[in-house]
Amino acid sequence: MTLNIDTDWRVKIGDDETSAVFEPAPRSPARALFVCAHGAGGHMNDAGMLAVTAALRSRGLGIVRFNFSYRERKSNRPDPMPRLIDDFAAVVAHARKVVRPRILVLGGRSMGGRAASMLVADGYVCDGVLLLAYPLHPAGQPTKLRDAHLEWIKLPVLCVNGTRDALCRRDLMERTVNRLGNNWTMHWLDGADHSFHVLKSSGRSDSDVLAEVADACGAWESGLARSGG
């Protein structure tokens, strides 16, 4: 992966454009590039995004963070999913052209990961999907599952959720994963919520949880590297 390139990007999306940042892995060459999208209430520079992507970079992944168009417009209301998917595809196309990664992983936090999963389920080519706090259902509405498209993803998937995630009841997610292929890997963070926070009574810190996330992702990405993507 060539590193002598600009790291602050303006990406064209139709007649609009949005911001993105490329963060090379600390070691060169990096094995993989992770294009990571933010959640519905966040943006590419929110605390959760910065913390988790820093943890992943420490395990050797290059990172691209970007804003969905609605956040670039300073709106708090997410665009419809088709527009989110178009935004994601435009950023990935730019990353492919500029960075030329050997292994390309798409995903993100919550809604961002859902958009990535829908893009890949529709046939978009990459090497793997990394879902952080996948929102299986709206909070308090476990019957409204967001899982219909997941069976169409045939690439390696790592999904990381907390056991206290109000948007991903564990029994429902495990039932979903059981009907999917062997390409799916589920990693549960004991005691973590949707933001990967843990209670003080758990005996662990948020930093401990992020280290666990990074270790799980690093091990999974190493498998991609060994298999050639």
Q: pTM for the full model?
A: 0.95
How much is the average pLDDT of 113-127? 97
Burial pattern 16-53, b for ≥16 Cβ within 10 A else e, equals eebbbebbbbeeeebbbbbbbbbbbebbbeeebbebbb
Amino acid at 19: S
- What's the pLDDT band for 2 if we cut at 50, 70, 90? very low
How much is the average pLDDT of 180-203? 96
Say which CATH superfamily domain 8-226 falls into. Alpha/Beta hydrolase fold, catalytic domain (3.40.50.1820)
Q: Is the pLDDT of residue 229 over 60?
A: no
pLDDT of residue 158: 98
State the residue for tokens 């527009």. Answer: 83
pLDDT of residue 181: 87
- What's the pLDDT band for 4 if we cut at 50, 70, 90? low
- What's the pLDDT band for 27 if we cut at 50, 70, 90? confident
- What's the pLDDT band for 1 if we cut at 50, 70, 90? very low
Report the alpha-carbon distance of residue 88 to residue 72 in Å, rounded.
Answer: 13
Which range is least confidently modeled, 4-8, 35-39, 76-80, 220-224?
Answer: 4-8
What are the residue boundaries of the structural domains of the chain, listed by start? 8-226
Between these two residues, 26 and 55, which has the higher pLDDT value? 55
Q: Tell me: the pLDDT tens digits for 127-183?
A: 999 999 999 999 999 999 999 999 999 999 999 999 999 999 999 999 999 999 899
